[in-house]
């Protein structure tokens, strides 16, 4: 009798896990992308609203933030492309963009397909296509020195930057709270599920790209108390990276979405020093 109860209980648990796994499989992109569907603010004064067209014909909303005057204003200057995380939209990254502009860098903010009123649906290939179009648009601006463009990616945007840097190498690369791959972050958050790599649609293999395809100077910034992407996972991406130089910065007592990581003074100081070294030589 006890054996029968144990077997039945085990079968119920296995069946429940199979059902949950099937549900997670068919809804996996809904667990990875959180498109902003709220109100869209107009750009503030001094921010230029433009559109860019992707290789597959989508038109995406873009904000260009002009650098504060630094050096010879008639000469093209350094610039930063910001790749957002998996939620929010460009207005939420404006404090970071304005802080970088105040330090003399032109900045491009854009939203992925399916976000903030843009057409399309988020996928790994789609977001890389969007980032490619944004990088080309930024490098093509007359104010921008195409040889002095850095990429700044946060969380999911760090993975977007990894694929972009492998294709269009930047002068410098800043990754905030990166994860090594979708499979690894999935296994961390869902240890009870049999996450098998072939069943993952969007794999975002950042650690592999940093090891094999990306050679730009690299800065990785993480939050000491980040519960969404713990520092030990970001560390795997850092240790895999072949970049030389590369630098690791851990911001104390900060969580994933804390202001300290979004546009905090310590993070900005580290990013500014890194950009100064690699974009103003």
154 and 212 in one domain?
yes
Q: Which domain holds residue 227?
A: 44-279
Asked if 160 and 200 sit in the same domain, the reply is yes
The confidence score (pLDDT) of residue 13 equals 55
Do 158 and 180 fall within a single domain? yes
Are 203 and 240 part of one and the same domain? yes
Same domain for 131 and 246: yes
CATH number at 56 reads 3.40.50.1820
Asked if 6 and 138 sit in the same domain, the reply is no
Domain total of the chain? 2
Arithmetic mean of pLDDT, 220-247: 97
Average pLDDT, the chain: 90
In a domain, 88, yes or no: yes
Tell me what pLDDT residue 67 has.
96
| Number of helical (H) and strand (E) elements in the chain, helices listed first | 10, 8
Burial 184-199 (b: 16+ CB within 10 A, else e): bbbeeeeeeeebeeee
44's tokens = 């503030």
Residue 37 lies in a domain: no
Judge if 27 and 48 occupy the same domain: no
The 10s digit of each residue's pLDDT in 97-151 is: 999 999 999 999 999 999 999 999 999 999 999 999 999 999 999 999 999 999 9
Residues 135 and 9 in one domain: no
Q: What is the pLDDT of residues 114-129, one digit of tens each?
A: 999 999 999 999 999 9
Tokens representing residue 175 in the block:
């990754």
- Mark whether 62 and 153 lie in a shared domain: yes
Residue 206 lies in a domain: yes
3-state secondary structure at position 227: coil
Mean pLDDT over residues 234-258, rounded? 96
Do 51 and 133 lie in one domain? The reply is yes
63 and 191 assigned to the same domain:
yes
CA pair distance 265, 254, nearest whole angstrom: 12
The pLDDT value given to residue 10: 57
**Given this model, what pLDDT does residue 49 score?**
96
């Amino acid at each position: 009798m006890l054996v029968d109860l144990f077997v039945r209980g085990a079968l119920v648990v296995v069946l429940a896990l199979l059902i949950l796994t099937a549900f997670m499989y068919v809804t996996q992109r809904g667990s990875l992308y959180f498109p902003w569907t709220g109100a869209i603010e107009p750009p503030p004064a001094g921010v230029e609203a433009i559109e860019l067209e992707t290789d597959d014909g989508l038109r995406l909303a873009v904000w260009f933030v002009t650098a504060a005057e630094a050096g010879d204003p008639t000469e093209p200057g350094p610039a930063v492309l910001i790749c957002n995380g998996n939620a929010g939209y460009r207005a939420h990254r404006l404090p970071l963009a304005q802080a970088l502009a105040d330090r003399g860098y032109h900045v491009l903010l854009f939203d992925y397909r399916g976000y903030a009123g843009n057409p399309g649906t988020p996928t790994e290939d789609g977001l890389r296509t969007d980032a490619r179009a944004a990088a080309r648009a930024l490098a093509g601006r007359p104010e921008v020195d195409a040889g002095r463009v850095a990429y700044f990616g946060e969380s999911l945007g760090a993975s977007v930057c990894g694929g972009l840097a492998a294709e269009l190498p930047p002068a410098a690369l800043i990754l905030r709270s990166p994860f090594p791959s979708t499979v690894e972050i999935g296994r961390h958050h869902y240890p009870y599920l049999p996450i098998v790599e072939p069943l993952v649609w969007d794999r975002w293999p950042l650690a592999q790209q940093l090891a094999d395809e990306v050679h730009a100077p690299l800065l990785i910034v993480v939050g000491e108390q980040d519960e969404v992407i713990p520092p030990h996972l970001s560390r795997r991406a850092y240790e895999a990276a072949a970049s030389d130089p590369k630098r690791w910065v851990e911001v104390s007592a900060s969580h994933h979405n804390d202001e300290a990581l979004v546009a905090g003074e310590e993070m900005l100081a580290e990013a500014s020093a890194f950009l100064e070294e690699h974009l103003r030589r």
